[in-house]
Amino acid sequence: MKRATLAILSVIAVCSLCFAGTVSAAKAGYGFSISTGTTPTFDGAVSPAGEWDDSYKDWLYNGWTKSTSFFRCKWLGAPTEGWLIEVLTDTTNNAGDNFQFSVDVGQEGGAAPGANDFLINCTGHGTVAVFQGTGTGWGASSAAVTTDYIVSQSIAASPASATAHWIIEIYLNKQGVFTMGMSNNMRMAAYDASTGQTVMWPPYSSANQPDTYGTGTTDFTMVPIPEGLTIGVMLTLSTIAVIASTRYFRKPKL
């Protein structure tokens, strides 16, 4: 009975560490990993069909609920990064639609964007603007040029859904004006004006508060990572496995 109680308390403690808010540089329990992959064509379409299959994948959230929408990311070398975002629930091209992609370059966190943080804002599937952190908010940036980033968008079908939906592809030059390191924290959100719904990653995060971003790391082992297996989930599963092993595989009594 004592062993069972200790096991339950241990799992609860780990879950609390993973999913409760903590004083840290990012949102606890949410992380992504970038491994190397082939360079896709940044045209706002998933073509050829398998061009993103070699990348990390995770889901966007509607509140605390995982939606069908998702993002993919991979390291392209040189050094550059590639991102794919598919908002499967947004099937219309509305002027009020909005997508935000913000990065905490130094992984310092904070209650407001720092001077080296940046935000890419897409409005109405056509207008793209880049902002830089000011220490208290965001200010328009004129430093970023076309060699620093590419943002391509379309309403089209993909291998993920035969129904035409919002597809966004982003290319980032990590040694350009953004001066990104190997590991950077990130937050993204997509707003659909036709439904009033916002999906984001991590859940309940804010572009204006880097403390709520997810932790990003570059995977030098190049081993594929299961879809959506975040840091918090991996820690919880590992702990449960250890507890189970001590419960069922302990030395038998003689």
d(CA 173, CA 77): 10
pLDDT at 17: 37
For residue 30, give the DSSP letter.
-
62-76: b (≥16 Cβ within 10 Å) or e: beeebbebbbbbbbb
For the domain covering 30-228, report its CATH number: 2.60.40.1190
Half-sphere exposure of 118 (CA within 13 A, CB side): 20
Mean pLDDT of the chain: 82
Q: For the full predicted model, state whether its pTM sits above 0.85.
A: no
Pick the more confident residue, 230 or 95. 95
Average pLDDT over residues 205-233: 72
Calculate what percentage of the chain has a pLDDT beyond 90: 63
Band of residue 245 on the pLDDT scale cut at 50, 70, 90: very low
What pLDDT sits at residue 223? 54
HEC profile of 84-134: EEEECCCCCCCCCCEEEEEEECCCCCCCCCCCCCEEEEEECCCEEEEEEEC
Q: State the Cα angle at 155 between 153 and 156, rounded to 5°.
A: 110
In degrees and rounded to multiples of 5, residue 248 shows phi and psi of -105, -15
Contact 165, 125 (CB under 8 A): no
pLDDT tens sequence across 56-77: 999 999 999 999 999 999 989 8
Q: Shortest CA distance to 46 belongs to which of 167, 189, 163, 190?
A: 167
Residues 6 or more apart whose CB falls under 8 angstroms from that of 110 comprise 25, 104, 209, 210, 211
pLDDT at 132: 94
CA 40, distance to chain mean position in Å, is: 19
What's the pLDDT tens digit per position in 4-49?
444 443 433 334 334 333 334 889 999 998 888 999 999 999 999 9
Contact 125, 155 (CB under 8 A): yes
What is the residue whose two structure tokens read 């598919």? 86
pLDDT above 90 for 233: no
Instruction: Identify which of 129, 72, 121, 127 has the alpha carbon closest to the alpha carbon of residue 99.
Output: 121
- 3-class DSSP assignment, residue 169: strand
Question: For 103-158, how does the pLDDT look when each residue is reduced to its tens digit (9 = 90+)?
Answer: 999 999 999 999 999 999 999 998 999 999 999 999 998 777 778 999 999 999 99
Each residue's pLDDT tens digit, 143-196: 777 789 999 999 999 999 999 999 999 999 988 888 888 889 999 999 999 999
Report the run of H or E that residue 35 belongs to, with start and end.
none
Question: Is pLDDT at 243 greater than 60 in this prediction?
Answer: no
Q: How many Å is the Cα radius of gyration of the chain?
A: 20
Where do the structural domains in the chain lie, given as residue ranges?
1-23+230-254, 30-228
Which structure tokens are listed for 173?
A: 């030059």
Pairwise CA distance, residues 174 & 29, whole Å: 25
